[in-house]
Amino acid sequence: MPRRHPLWSEASTGMTPAPGLEKDGLEKEGPDYIRETIRLSDELLRSHTVLLARKNIHSKLELFRIIRLDLDKLTHALTELKSKPAVDVLQDFFGESADCHAIGRRLTGSEIGHVGFEIHEPLSLVLHGLRHWIEQSQRLVGANMQIRDCMRFPASLAFQKRVAAPAEIMRLWLDVEGQVLMLELFDIHRPVDPVMAESPKPTHRNFHALFRPEATAASHPRRLSALFAGDEIWHYAFHVAQPEDVRELHAELQRLAAVHSGYFLPYAEPVHNEHDRSFHTKIVRHASVKPDSVRLELEFVTQYR
């Protein structure tokens, strides 16, 4: 008799996912997908034991859940990049508190530059799960998506001081149906237990949010808010032409925060990250500013040439 994998249990009807996996919707999958998921989890646990232990991830079930949460966040972040113009984000963020048109004129384009957020698996694992996710999207919905490029580097000292932990960043460029979209993934070296306890139940590989948006137009904003409610560093980033634009925007945003308690700047001065030569400032809006909203921040960034 073949050896049963620990993530399987035997029922009268045959092989079924072990208790715990069915709570995440894995029982909806066929055996081929489940075997592949188990194989991938096994390999990653063996090859990245130390990195996962730093996050307090020790079992296949914990790893599976955290990867699904990260991919769920990735899906909805890409949906924002694909569908939302910069002016809409500025207007929603500032409302009548700032001159959105004046800020918009400083931007180098009409689109969002990138969306940044915390992921909970170590960066060394990200591409493994992402490639598997892309393969499934191609098989199930005929998605046209591929990894175009990636760049990994330490977070700035100012950011690491802000989160009180070592941190790394991965910039990830994805070609999604001919449109190149960029994400900035932050790996903060700390246990994921609080995230696991408070995060919403993962959805089942929600490809429709990205590739069939008409089917999820109503649910996407709610899901976005639920996924990022506990993420204190998630942000929309906009590119400006030169460091002087960043400095001037920083001064303008400081004046706004001085008269409006709903906003604050996380850094006293613009931040230069020598590892990627970026130069940026950020402003944070408290959730209380707008009903039914979450804490959010904007970044204005350029490159030193």
Residue 26 has pLDDT above 70, yes or no: no
Residue 192's φ and ψ, nearest 5 degrees, are -100, 5
Rounded Cα distance between 281 and 266, Å, is 9
Which residues lie closer than 8 Å to 258 by C-beta, 6 or more apart?
A: none
Q: How confident is the model at residue 15 (pLDDT cuts 50, 70, 90)?
A: very low
The tokens 């989160």 sit on which residue? 163
Q: Is 126 or 28 the better-scoring residue by pLDDT?
A: 126
Domain ranges for the chain: 48-303
Q: What is the pLDDT of residue 49?
A: 83
Q: What is the DSSP letter of 242?
A: S
From the number of C-beta atoms within 10 Å of its C-beta (0-12, 13-18, 19+), residue 174 rates as buried
Model pTM? 0.84
Q: Is 214 or 128 the better-scoring residue by pLDDT?
A: 128
Q: What is the pLDDT of residues 193-212, one digit of tens each?
A: 888 788 887 665 566 667 77
Which secondary-structure segment (H or E) carries 303?
A: strand 296-303
Rounded Cα distance between 31 and 36, Å, is 9
Short-list 52, 50, 61, 78, CA closest to 26: 61
From the number of C-beta atoms within 10 Å of its C-beta (0-12, 13-18, 19+), residue 176 rates as buried
Q: How confident is the model at residue 249 (pLDDT cuts 50, 70, 90)?
A: very high
3-state secondary structure 142-157: CCCEEEEEEEEEECCH
Cβ atoms within 10 Å of 79's Cβ, excluding its own:
24
Q: How confident is the model at residue 216 (pLDDT cuts 50, 70, 90)?
A: low
The tokens 């990200």 sit on which residue? 126
